Amino acid sequence: MSTDIEKEERASGWRTIKRVLPALWPEDEAWVKRRVVIAMIALLLSKFVAVYTPIIYRDAVNALSGEGVSDLMLGAIGLTVAYGMARIFSNGFQQLRDAVFAAVAQRALRKLALETFTHIHRLSMRYHITRKTGGLSRIIERGVKGVEFLLRFLLFSVGPLILELALVAGIFFFLFDVWYLAAVVFTIVLYVWFTFTVTEWRVKLRREMNDRDTDANQKAIDSLLNFETVKYFGAERREAMRYDEAMEGYESAAIKTASSLAFLNFGQAFLITCGLITVMVMAAKGVQTGALTVGDFVMVNAYMIQITMPLNFLGTVYREIRQSLVDMGEMFDLLGQPAEIEDKTGAPDIKVSDGRVTLNNVFFGYDPSRPILKGVSLQVDAGQTIAIVGPSGSGKSTIGRLLFRFYDVSSGSVMIDGQDVRDVTQESLHQMIGVVPQDTVLFNDTIRYNIAYGRDGASEAEIIAAAKAAQIHDFISALPDGYETTVGERGLKLSGGEKQRVGIARTLLKDPPVLLLDEATSALDTETEREIQDALRVAGEGRTVLTIAHRLSTIADADKIVVLEDGLIAEQGTHEALLKLKGRYASLWARQVTEEDAA
């Protein structure tokens, strides 16, 4: 089973690398290619200078000890200065490489982040209601960070390390003998095997730690989003315990990860030190026999230390590359999620002249085994106000979601001015429909921003006119900061009625020909509801209005009332006509009147 998982991970890793590599060599952006080439040249220069530096060091030591004379005839002081300059140039080329490549990495990061963000907004309502926002944000955050890390370390750590090791191994072979090469190669092979084996184990621990981290983050965000509910039920301690339990799991996983890192670091140090001692002993014997100079001994030590430094980071680099592949794999899995609702190829924009809405024998269920609408046919003429009422679960709100095309019908059709909503672009359809939901959710920004959200580029005069029509301008003007007042997260600084008015103003600014009121006043008190109804009446003038209502008193003046029951239309007609029928609507009306009288 674990072998299958590892194979799947490797396949996912290669898939991820294939997705990222085009960012290094895009067909239509020559400046990116130029930067990659310059970065690679700087990288090669840096490595060649770094590998030659210990030779200068050797010559300086020999010049000082009198065991040899430099071919460059620079003398000990000159060689020491040359050694320093070589180190400066090596570091300078590294920094140049990083500076040049930064724009490439950030461009790739930005493009993938935007692609992921855009794709998430394209995913269906069904997907979003089954996922937790905290988990999604964590996947995007880790995946986007992984892009830069993968590009940088694949290009500037693994490749250069292999090049440097090959150059050092060649120098040991040609300047000394095959036994030096064998000792270095054996040490490196053993080191790499140990590092990769332990890191594979650590990747599993790290994945568990990430899962615990995601879980704790989801619980924290969920709790903060439900701040009021937590307060209502005095559940602060309960929420703290719930969060602490999640953090306890993270703590345990983090401790295992830290302990395994200590084991890895010690094992790496032990192997490298053994290799260093072996090579140094061989060099010391060479000096004793006169085959090598003191400078050679120092040079061997310098090379061993030089290859030790990048090798020390090999475990971290390997682990982070593996982790980046896992994180980016999750992000690409997200990108691979098909959008349930997609525009047809070549779909035109919808053209709305009258705003006539038609449902033709609509069948639909969120779960195929549990149908919600079972053959609903309905005609809403241009400029008409129609109310849809019925008990919970009868399918009232579902009609609104199908009209907005959050979902597609199982069979039948939903049409606006004779155009099936499935045959036109979603963007144009959404522009034609204004929605005032039961609970208006606002952005954590100013009142101006939230009203202006109705139409991009709206002028100040248009924003104020929409606020006046929604009967909230006077309230806003009385605030110390006026339209610049921040509403808080989800609009928590405003009352329910104030939020609804801002939502109505936002929809009025959008100026759609079709208006959907989804139980827009059911969460408000009676007095606020009457005030909001006046604003909604203004909003509905000259538009086709579908009102999904719970409180029947708010829709008594509708042109037509449709009573839904068990996914079917039980009755339809005007308020007076339905009362005369003495059917389902009349009984609902009588019950609400009795409840209001009792209240």
Indicate the pairing of strand 411-416 with strand 357-364. Answer: antiparallel
Which residues have C-beta within 8 Å of that of residue 179, sequence separation ≥ 6?
A: 282
User: What pLDDT score was predicted for residue 7?
Assistant: 52
Q: Residues 540-554: pLDDT tens digits?
A: 778 898 988 877 877
Tell me which of 156 and 133 has the higher pLDDT.
156
Q: Residues 353-363: pLDDT tens digits?
A: 888 999 999 99
Domain with CATH 1.20.1560.10 in the chain: 21-336
Q: Residues 157-173: pLDDT tens digits?
A: 777 778 888 888 888 88
Q: How far apart are CA 86 and CA 59, in angstroms?
A: 14
What is the token pair recorded at 589?
């009306």
Q: Residues 486-521: pLDDT tens digits?
A: 887 666 678 878 888 888 889 889 888 998 888 766
User: What pLDDT score was predicted for residue 15?
Assistant: 67
pTM over 0.85: no
Look at residues 180, 174, 164, 163 and name the one whose alpha carbon lies nearest to residue 297. Answer: 180
Q: From start to end of 295-381, where are the E strands? A: 357-364, 373-380
Does the pLDDT value for residue 73 go beyond 60?
A: no
Does the pLDDT value for residue 68 go beyond 60?
A: no
What is the token pair recorded at 63?
């010049």
Does the pLDDT value for residue 116 go beyond 80?
A: no
User: What pLDDT score was predicted for residue 2?
Assistant: 47
pLDDT level of residue 131 (50, 70, 90 thresholds): low
* For the chain, counts of helices (H) and of strands (E): 20, 10
The stretch 377-391 carries a mean pLDDT of 89
Q: How far apart are CA 466 and CA 322, in angstroms?
A: 53
Q: Please, how many CA atoms are within 13 Å of residue 128, restricted to the half-sphere of its CB?
A: 12
User: What pLDDT score was predicted for residue 526?
Assistant: 67
Look at residues 213, 246, 219, 199 and name the one whose alpha carbon lies nearest to residue 139. Answer: 213
3 state DSSP class of 212: helix
pLDDT level of residue 64 (50, 70, 90 thresholds): confident
Does the pLDDT value for residue 438 go beyond 90?
A: no
Indicate the pairing of strand 433-436 with strand 514-518. Answer: parallel
Residue 357 · residue 421 · CB < 8 Å: no
Q: Is the dihedral of CA 412, 416, 420, 424 positive or negative?
A: negative
The stretch 246-270 carries a mean pLDDT of 87
The stretch 173-177 carries a mean pLDDT of 84
Residue 138 · residue 217 · CB < 8 Å: yes
User: What pLDDT score was predicted for residue 1?
Assistant: 41
Tell me which of 350 and 592 has the higher pLDDT.
350
Say which CATH topology domain 21-336 has: ABC transporter transmembrane region fold (1.20.1560)
Instruction: Calculate the average pLDDT of the chain.
Output: 82
What is the token pair recorded at 90?
């090596």
User: What pLDDT score was predicted for residue 128?
Assistant: 60
Q: CA torsion 584→589→592→596, rounded to 10°?
A: -170
Q: Residues 207-217: pLDDT tens digits?
A: 788 888 888 88
Q: CA torsion 60→65→71→72, rounded to 10°?
A: 40
User: What pLDDT score was predicted for residue 105?
Assistant: 80
Tell me which of 321 and 454 has the higher pLDDT.
454
User: What pLDDT score was predicted for residue 327?
Assistant: 73
The stretch 45-54 carries a mean pLDDT of 88
Does the pLDDT value for residue 369 go beyond 50?
A: yes
Q: Which of 62-66, 165-169, 573-577 has the highest mean pLDDT?
A: 573-577
Does the pLDDT value for residue 6 go beyond 70?
A: no
Domain with CATH 3.40.50.300 in the chain: 357-598
Tell me which of 555 and 159 has the higher pLDDT.
555
The domain 357-598 having CATH identifier 3.40.50.300: the answer here is yes
